[in-house]
Amino acid sequence: MAPVEPPGITTLYLPVEDGEALAAEKLRRGVDFVLTHHATNKTVLVACGAGISRATTFTIAALKEAEGLSLLDAAHAVRQAHPDGMPHWLLWESLCTYYGERHDYLALL
């Protein structure tokens, strides 16, 4: 799928597959993009095909860094705002590995 680039809107397209581990470089690039725009009081939309797993994964990571939360606390905050949001277990494992936190996937439920 080709990236959408509407005029006047800064975009970042990261091809990420659901159901596959997330490379640390892609995670860092996506989170840096969100945090950079958030820091300048820009509205940030994180989206994926269904809005359930991949977008949730990046939102959890950005919230963890922006607010200083644990992954689990960030995930619960995201799920409270978006109850259908749930990272695929391999994406969750990627987050845990990247941030050096160990949280059982079932703790997200």
- Looking at 3.90.190.10, 3.20.20.70, 3.90.850.10, 3.90.1150.10, the CATH number of the domain 24-108 comes to 3.90.190.10
Query: Residues in the chain with pLDDT < 70?
Result: 1-2
| Model pLDDT, residue 5 | 79
Alpha-carbon distances, residue 46 vs 87, 102, 106 (angstroms) = 13, 25, 24
DSSP structural state of residue 34: H
HSE of 95 in the Cβ direction (CA atoms, 13 Å)? 31
Of 97, 102, 78, 90, the closest CA to residue 16 belongs to 90
Contact 48, 54 (CB under 8 A): yes
Give the global pTM. 0.93
Would you report the helix, strand and coil content of the chain in percent, each value rounded to 5?
50, 0, 50
The string of pLDDT tens digits covering residues 92-107 is: 999 999 999 999 999 9
